[in-house]
Amino acid sequence: MTLPVENESMRIDKWLWCIRAYRTRSKSVAACKASHVRMNGHIIKPASPVRVGSEITIEYPRLKRTLKVVALLPKRVGAPLAIQHYEDLTPESEYDKLKKQTLAQSIVERDRGSGRPTKKDRRDLEKWLEDWNS
């Protein structure tokens, strides 16, 4: 793996797709247009150039991820290679929050046909969620 020259750049939507931040390039473009992607703290357009050393913030529905560009990719590569082209600066608290939300959602799911939760079920769930959020 060779690191590119400092002057090289590529479109942010293509880079996000290449490192597998989004499943398709059109989803990457849509995220940029919806202001879910920021570069060095600024809202950007899909065609904005990204360079080595830039800090990218991606806002997913349940996670805010921060990445630092280590290298540019000429094409989409596998996940083990893609990881080498960015540094993950996301704080552990974001990942912990995601784990809690995922766990809470799995507990909230009820068997099909079991009916609405009772008042006691709802209170127990609210108490459990308060304990997890503290």
Q: Report whether 55 contacts 40 (CB < 8 A).
A: yes
- Residues linked to residue 66 through DSSP beta bridges, in sequence order: 57
Angle 119-133/92-108 helices, nearest 10 degrees?
170
Q: Residue 132 pLDDT > 70, yes or no?
A: no
pLDDT in tens, 55-81: 999 999 889 999 999 999 989 999 999
Q: Which pLDDT value is given to residue 129?
A: 74
Stated pTM of the model: 0.75
Per-residue pLDDT tens digits for 1-34: 555 444 589 999 999 999 999 999 999 999 999 9
Q: Is the pLDDT of residue 97 over 90?
A: no
